[in-house]
Amino acid sequence: MATATPEAVESRIVEALASFGPDVEQVTRTATFEELDIDSLDLVELAQIVEDEWGVELKGDDMKSLKTVGDAIDLVVARAA
């Protein structure tokens, strides 16, 4: 399983979110999922990717509290530590 450095997590999460539709330049730490048109099903997919890459399990309640790209990155980095 890959090491979850903050840089690695950020780069993989940005890549994953961009694959759901938004341009990669739009996917900044402060961008909200609402702005990016990232929906709940996208976040379920993101959770699966995060679990596969770093073994970090994100539950439904975790996902509901996420508002921005930065929130997601910080949560994964904290959980993987």
Partner 1 sequence: MSDERRGCALVTGASRGIGAATAKALAADGWPVGVGYNSGAEAAAAVVAEIEAAGGQALAVGGDISATESVDRIFSELEERFGTVLVLVNNAGLRRDNLSPQIKDEDWDAVLDTNLRAAFRMTRRAIPQMLRARHGRIVNIASVVGLRANPGQANYAASKAGLVAMTKTIAAEVARRGVTVNAVAPGLIETDMTADLDGELLKVVPARRPGTPDEVAACVRFLASDAASYVTGATLTVDGGMSA
Among all residues, which ones are annotated catalytic? 39
Alpha-carbon distances of 49 from 30, 54, 64, rounded to whole Å: 21, 8, 17
Q: Kindly tell me which of 45 and 74 has the beta carbon lying closer to partner 1.
A: 45
**Site size with partner 1, rule: CB under 8 A:** 4
Instruction: Please work out, in degrees rounded to the nearest 5, the angle formed at the alpha carbon of residue 70 by the alpha carbons of 54 and 21.
Output: 85
Q: Is 44 one of the binding residues for partner 1 (CB under 8 A)?
A: yes
Distance CA 18, CA 36 (A): 9
CB closer to partner 1, 8 vs 49: 49
Least distance from C-beta 30 to partner 1, angstroms? 26
Q: Is 8 helix (H, G, I), strand (E, B) or coil?
A: helix
Chain contacts with partner 1 (rule: CB under 8 A): 41, 44-45, 48
